[in-house]
Amino acid sequence: MTTPDHLDDLDAVTALADRVRRAAYRAVADAAPDPAGRDEVAEALGVGRTLAAFHLDKLVDAGLLEVSYARRSGRSGPGAGRPAKLYRLSAAEHAVSVPPRAYRSAAELLAEALERSGAEETLYRVAGEHGRKAGPAPDVTTLLTGNGYEPATREDGRIELRNCPYHRVAEQFPPLICGMNLAMLNGLLEGAGLAGEWCARMDPAPGRCCVTVSKNKID
Amino acid sequence: MTDFHLAQMNVAKLRAPEGDPLVAEFTAGVDLMNELADRSPGFIWRLKEEDVDLAALGIQPAPPEMIATMSVWESLEALRGYVYHSTHLDYLRRRREWFVPGESAMVLWWVEAGRIPTLRDGLQRLALLGAEGPGPRAFTFRQPFPAPELSRP
């Protein structure tokens, strides 16, 4: 909490204290993987375009959103040729801990030790058991949302997970952490009684969780 | 166009020799994974078993459980895309089913564009990484080093 980095993180997090601004952040997150424009966010929030723009730009100043400019397709009328200001979530992560804690460093050390000793299969088993303990959920979306995954259903019926809950460690140890996550997700589906209908599998792509959830083929 | 390409070498020890049912699923995937590498963005070259003449190189043949891969890519990102952001990741995830822990190693290094590394180059880089840890001449995904700057006339 005393280093300049920590104070920047605190600035970033306090930028979300305002309820409308938090909703604006959520609206941008929900649009992913596409960026969101001011009009869409204003509409989602039920506020004016100027107010939406004010909050979006505050979130940019705080480092929580990034800006790009693009012409939006399907526009007509005056202004159609001008590129729109678009917003997406920043890749930067902000954590504020009082007093200071370093769980990420601990996770990286543990991951390296697991890889070196070849204990991956044990980790997958532990993750599966942990997932099964989460218990029942009314449907797959509720289950995934409740466990921090931000599900989004694609046209082919696959559920992509827009948030990678283990992103920083997964980047360092992809097979280990993505394998743990896969086992966890299949555990969650089993524990919720949804494993007959749904199945998690490795389906890696940049910018989202490397596991997707799809319907089991019923013969 | 960059002046340097990324070379990769990997050695690992199978739990049983090729042909054993224990490693059948792995062996069945090798051709698939090689074909995937060949058509991945940024792929340049890979070592093919039939091109290796150990006797000519004066290298002792490895036990049948030891397998090695060596390849060259346009960039670190290109190799990362194949290794971690393709169906290859699922094979990596299952590596303990097929490979002996502590008996595998992977090394990355920069080669001048157009140059194809030899098996001996790769083994030397592996030895360097083992002896000195990651550095500009032998490194890993977790601790990469930038390509050298070519001095221009």
- Cross-chain residue pair A118–B96, CB shorter than 8 Å: yes
The tens digit of pLDDT for each residue in B13-37 reads: 999 988 899 999 999 999 999 999 9
Beta-sheet pairing, A198-202 with A211-215: antiparallel
Alpha carbons B82 and A99: distance in angstroms, whole number: 41
**Euclidean distance between CA atoms A86 and A64, whole angstroms:** 14
Taken as a whole, chain A contains a residue count of 219
- Amino acid A87: pLDDT: 96
Q: What is the ipTM of this complex?
A: 0.86
The whole-angstrom distance between A4's CA and the closest CA on chain B is 26
Residue type, B72: V
Q: What chain A residue is nearest to B93 in terms of C-alpha separation?
A: A175
pLDDT digits (tens, 9 = 90+) for A136-150: 999 999 999 999 998
- Per residue of chain A (219 residues), what is the pLDDT tens digit? 456 667 778 888 899 999 999 999 999 998 887 899 999 999 999 999 999 999 999 999 999 999 999 876 665 666 567 788 999 999 888 888 888 888 989 999 999 999 999 999 999 999 999 999 998 999 999 999 999 998 999 999 999 998 888 999 999 999 999 999 999 999 999 999 999 999 999 999 888 899 999 998 755
Q: Which residues contact B102 (CB under 8 A, 6 or more apart)?
A: A116, A117, A118
What pLDDT score was predicted for residue A91? Answer: 85
Residue length of chain B: 153
Q: State the pairing for strand pair A151-153/A159-161.
A: antiparallel
pTM across the whole model: 0.84
- Please give the Cα distance from A49 to A140 (Å, whole number): 34
Bond preceding residue A99 cis, omega within 30 of 0: yes
Contact A162, A104 (CB under 8 A): no
The H or E element containing residue A58 is helix A49-61
CA B149 → CA A19, B3, B24, B139, distances in Å? 50, 8, 44, 17
Quick check: A172 and B142 CB within 8 A? yes
Instruction: List CB contacts (< 8 A) between B100 and chain A.
Output: 118
What's the pLDDT score for residue B64? 82
What's the confidence (pLDDT) of residue A1?
Answer: 44
The residue in chain B having the minimum alpha-carbon distance to the alpha carbon of residue A173 is: B142
**Residues of chain B with confidence (pLDDT) below 70:** 1-2, 52-58, 150-153
Tell me if A58 sits within 8 A of A41, measured CB to CB.
no
Burial B57-73 (b: 16+ CB within 10 A, else e): eeeeeeeebebbbbbbb
3 state DSSP class of B150: coil
Contact residues, chain B, for A118 at CB < 8 Å: 96, 100-102
